[in-house]
Chains A and B, each alone.
Chain A
Amino acid sequence: MDSSLSSDDLKFREEVRSFFRTAEPEAAQQLINNPRTYKQGAVQWQKQLFEKGWIAPFWPAQYGGAGWTVTQSYIYETERVKANAPDVVPFGLKMVGPVIYTYGNEEQKARFLPGILSSDDWWCQGYSEPGAGSDLASLTTRAVSDGEEYVVNGSKIWTTYAQYADWIFCLVRTDASGKPQQGISFLLIDMKTPGITVSPIPSINGVHSLNEVHFENVRVPKANRIGEEGQGWTYAKSLLAHERTVIARVADSKKRLNTLRQIASRELQGGKPIIEDASFQHRFTNIEVELMALEYMELRVLAAMARNESPGAESSLLKIKGTEIQQALHELTIELAGIYGGVVLDDGEPGSSVGHDFGDGARKDFMYGRASTIFGGSNEIQKNIIAKRVLGL
């Protein structure tokens, strides 16, 4: 057994490091940190990656990907976090893009993939509905056939950054007669189509990122349907496992743990650094141990993927442990803010509020971080998946 990198991988790591040294990711990250300039920063950074050829490294080369191995993606992610560089917005690049190049027709690939790669098109995800959360297959947004078009009626909810989106990819019901999973189709809808309204849902971190999207007699060309009518569930599901692997965020949590160590050496309690406090040490080390385990859990999944084995239900495990660790880190960080832990949350500039320089981020991360055990299939749903598929219960 060994987890060491090959010489090719080491060479690649050097290339990644050198890119991050010259790309100045801090500038984009600063824009992203401020809700008012979020989109500008994200697009700016993604265009830099696009020019480098690294915008969609896991896509097949024929569609504009870099054809990276699983190990290369892992190296990139590790170095990205070390360099404080932004992650890409996942909706186009990690979610709908792969669906389009896997299940879409040639015309759809030619029409949609370039805009995703160049970040000229901003995508959002239309899966959840007010009445369909964990039970996603019970969704009721209807698409009724009318000649060469569908007429869509219904609502999608928790739609992240729908306010910026040019396109939304939706699961819609085209047939209500069979099992819930049947009769779902995968539609790409232009957000400028008449009949679409977006209403904001302010969230508990004080920031507006979530929305409800309403469809009222929205006419969508059938040419925007991916694959077969009624097969949308299969297409969407095939990519969920990948999404969960992404959610583990090991590199990010390692970095947070380090930050936590630094803050705890600076902050005093009774004249002594908190890092010397026994109960802080106990909590810190428990998180560290779990994260050390998670890191190798992820490497084991990556090694399996490198052998072309599907990550499958193991990715549910990564999602559960990864998000639990993130929340434990958020909790410990906000508590280091002490009496400033309870300062009001708003969508102003980061670091502008009272107390510590880490306080605003800690409060926002803590509150919004509660979402991580809910989205991507709640952790309880992940346990159902493991119980059924791995334990055979």
Chain B
Amino acid sequence: MNFNLTEEQQMLQDSAARFVGQDYSFERRQRDVQNDVGFDPELWRQFAELGWLSVPFAEENGGFGGDATDLFVLMEQLGKGLVATPYLASILLFGRCLEAGANPALKAELLERLIAGELQGALAYMERQSRHELFDIETKACREGDEFVISGEKALVMNALAADMFVVSVRTSGTATDKNGVSLLLVDAGAPGIELSSIQLMDGQKVANVTFRDVRVSADRLIGLENQGAAILEEVVEKAIPAICSEALGLMTHLTNTTIEYSKTRKQFGVAIGSFQVLQHRMVDMFTACEETRSLLYRVLCSAGEDDLLEHKKDLHALKVITGLRGKRVGNEAIQLHGGMGITDELDVGHYVKRLMVLHSVFGDADYHRQQLTRLSLQQ
């Protein structure tokens, strides 16, 4: 039994904490999200130099060979600093799809460029009607000789504006929500027939609805096997869940700490408001919420290395439930305890809360994952 970080993980944590503490002010973040693509390309180059873009990839693919704990360490710090970055979209979704299923030549070439910070990617997996179901896919790809022809629309594609390439989930057979018949295709963002309609999310990031009108892509651009893409999609999302929950924990921790600090300096009725017991207990509840989330995250990090896949799946669902529920609670309390200042755009609190809201909506919310967990533990 060991919940300590390795020396390498400690170093990664220190360098990420240093970056957030020294180089990444809230003012810079607010400037960054005004950028055309929703983040600062210079920041991405810096990430590449620090080696952070290589963390999740295997050593034989030119990566750092990091595990779930390495990612936790990095993502928690990025959350604390509310860092605007396409790390989730480009590295954890797009990059991992390539690593899991691209043909060897393509994988070698693209991962090298991705890790060097020279390539941006996106995973186009959501649709208007799909809500949280990964395999509710109406976008079709029909085979014509050595090509697939894609038609349909993908919704709220993260990092779509910066992406040089998309991995797109398409239906190549089966109906509606079938797991079989899902394929993943790698498509150049500039391919004829692709149209982007830009949307900004409440956390500042720029996403896009991506329309495919008879977009032709060569069959050797299949990620994984034809009709068998669901397993890759599912695995990539399952590996991304602890990462975004780590970021959420960082956000929650910042909100809790900043609220406690504020309560020590804000005076009403001649005393610091932190001296009021009714507020103290609410801040204890915020702290408890963070500790519960951290504990379930550690549980997931431990079971990620074990062979019991069912237990790990249950842990993942539980983690997303608690992160969603406790994240909302911490966010709401942080705003409430900051009083009128809490609802201003000027204060960082609201922006942290908005990022938590977006993360809650990604990969299934608390209700969705509660249902999934119920299915596994009550209806097996």
For the residues of A in contact with B, the DSSP-based class is: helix
Which residues of chain A from 208 to 259 have a CB within 8 Å of any chain B CB?
Answer: none
Q: Which residues of B contact A300 (CB under 8 A)?
A: 3, 295, 298
B287 partner, pick from A261, A286, A390, beta carbons under 8 A: A390
With a CB–CB cut-off of 8 A, which chain A residues contact B292? 290, 293-294, 297, 321
> CA A154 – CA B332 in complex, angstroms?
48
> CB distance B283 to A391 under 8 Å?
yes
A303 touches B284 (CB 8 A): no
**Per-position contact with A for B61-87: 1 when CB-CB < 8 Å, else 0?**
000000001000000000000000000
Contacts of A282 in B (CB 8 A): 370, 374
With a cutoff of 8 Å between Cβ atoms, the chain B residues found around residue A393 in the complex are: 260, 263-264, 274-275, 280, 283
How many B residues, CB 8 Å from partner?
40
Closest to B6 in A: A1
CB atoms of A302 and B1 under 8 A apart: yes
Q: A8 an interface residue at 8 Å Cβ cutoff?
A: no
User: Contact partner of B370 among A286, A303, A317, A380, CB < 8 A?
Assistant: A286
- Determine whether the beta carbon of A289 is less than 8 Å from that of B321: yes
Given A297-B295, A317-B291, residue A386 in contact with residue B3 (CB < 8 A): no
Name the A residues within 8 Å of B287 (CB-CB).
Answer: 386, 390-391
Taking CB atoms, residues of chain A closer than 8 Å to B2 are 1-2, 303
Give the CA-CA distance A390 to B288 in the complex, in Å.
Answer: 11
Q: Binary interface profile of B, 194-236, with partner A (CB < 8 Å = 1, else 0)?
A: 0000000000000000000000000000000000000000000
Name B271-287 residues within 8 Å CB distance of A: 274-275, 277, 280-281, 283-284, 287
Known A-B contacts A5-B1, A303-B3; the reply to A289 vs B302 at CB < 8 A is no
Q: Smallest CB–CB gap between A187 and chain B, Å?
A: 33
Bound-state CA distance A286–B263 (Å) is 31
Q: Does A281 contact B (CB under 8 A)?
A: yes
**Contact, CB under 8 Å: A391 / B260:** yes
Q: Which of A340-393 contact B (CB under 8 A)?
A: 380, 383-384, 386-387, 390-393
B280 to chain A: closest residue by CB: A387
| A231→B306 CA distance, assembly (Å) | 49
Within 8 A of B (CB), among A263-305: 275, 281-282, 284-286, 288-290, 292-297, 299-300, 302-303
Q: Does A176 contact B (CB under 8 A)?
A: no
Cβ of A137 within 8 Å of any chain B Cβ, yes or no, is no
Q: Which residues of A contact B306 (CB under 8 A)?
A: 4
Q: Is A10 an interface residue (CB 8 A)?
A: no
CB-CB under 8 A from A96, the residues of chain B are none
Most buried by A among B274, B299, B322: B299
Tell me if B237 counts as interface (CB < 8 A to partner A). Answer: no
Contacts of B305 in A (CB 8 A): 1-2
> Are A387 and B295 in contact, CB atoms less than 8 angstroms apart?
no
Asked if B301 is at the interface (CB within 8 A of a chain A CB), the reply is yes
Whether the Cβ atoms of A284 and B264 lie closer than 8 Å is no
B378 at the interface (CB under 8 A from A): yes
Closest to A288 in B: B377
**A27 contacts partner chain B, Cβ-Cβ < 8 Å:** no
Q: Is residue B318 contacting chain A, with contact meaning CB distance below 8 A?
A: yes
Q: Does B296 contact A (CB under 8 A)?
A: yes
How far does the alpha carbon of A261 sit from the alpha carbon of B264 in the complex, in Å? 46
Residues of B within 8 A of A5 (CB): 1
- Tell me if B48 counts as interface (CB < 8 A to partner A): no
> Residues of A contacting B295 with CB < 8 Å?
293-297, 300
Chain B residue with Cβ nearest A314: B291
Q: Are A295 and B299 touching (Cβ within 8 A)?
A: yes
Docked CA distance A282–B366 (Å): 11
Q: Which residues of B contact A117 (CB under 8 A)?
A: none
With A3-B302, A296-B298, A297-B291 known to touch, is A285 a contact of B281 (CB < 8 Å)? no
**Chain A neighbourhood of B293, CB < 8 A:** 293
> Is B315 an interface residue, CB under 8 A from the partner?
yes
Chain A positions within 8 Å of B274 at CB level:
393
Note all chain B residues with C-beta closer than 8 A to A29.
none
Report the bound CA distance from A294 to B296 in whole Å. 8
What is the CA–CA distance of A1 and B291 in the complex, to the nearest angstrom? 17
User: CB of B119 within 8 A of chain A?
Assistant: no
Name the distance in Å between B351's Cβ and chain A's nearest Cβ.
Answer: 23
Give bound CA distance, A39 to B96, whole Å.
61
Report if A71 contacts B (CB, 8 A): yes
Interface flags, A87-103, vs B, CB<8A=1, else 0: 00000000000000000
**A391: B residues at CB distance < 8 A:** 260, 280, 283-284, 287
A2 contact set on B, CB distance < 8 A: 1-2, 302, 305
User: How many Å lie between the Cα of A4 and that of B301 in the bound state?
Assistant: 12
CB closest residue in chain A, given B372: A285
Q: Is A320 an interface residue (CB 8 A)?
A: yes
Query: In this assembly, does B373 line the interface, its C-beta being within 8 Å of a C-beta of chain A?
Result: yes
Taking the nearest CB of chain B, how far is it from the CB of A11, in angstroms? 15
> Which residues between 287 and 338 of chain A lie within 8 Å of chain B, taking CB atoms?
288-290, 292-297, 299-300, 302-303, 306, 317, 320-321
B284 touches A386 (CB 8 A): yes
- Expressed in whole angstroms, the Cα–Cα distance for A393 and B378 within the complex equals 42
A303 partner residues in chain B, CB cutoff 8 A: 1-3
Determine the distance from Cα of A296 to Cα of B275 in the docked complex, in whole angstroms: 31
Among B3, B69, B318, the residue within 8 A (CB) of A293 is: B318
Is the pair B296, A293 in contact by a Cβ cutoff of 8 Å?
yes
Q: When chains A and B are docked, how far (Å) is the Cα of A374 from the Cα of B343? A: 37
Quick one: which of B338-375 are within 8 Å of A by CB?
Answer: 370, 373-374
Query: Are B373's CB and A383's CB within 8 A?
Result: no
Q: Which residues of A contact B69 (CB under 8 A)?
A: 1
Q: Across the interface, do A1 and B3 meet the contact criterion of CB distance under 8 Å?
A: yes
Q: In the complex, what distance in Å separates the CA atom of A71 from the CA atom of B3?
A: 13
Which residues of A have CB within 8 Å of B315?
292
Q: Determine the chain B residues whose CB is within 8 A of the CB of A296 once the complex forms.
A: 295-296, 298-299, 302
6 CB < 8 A contacts A-B: A293-B292, A296-B295, A300-B3, A303-B2, A317-B288, A393-B274
Minimum-distance CB pairs A-B, first 10: A296-B295, A387-B280, A3-B302, A293-B292, A297-B295, A296-B299, A383-B284, A289-B318, A293-B296, A1-B301
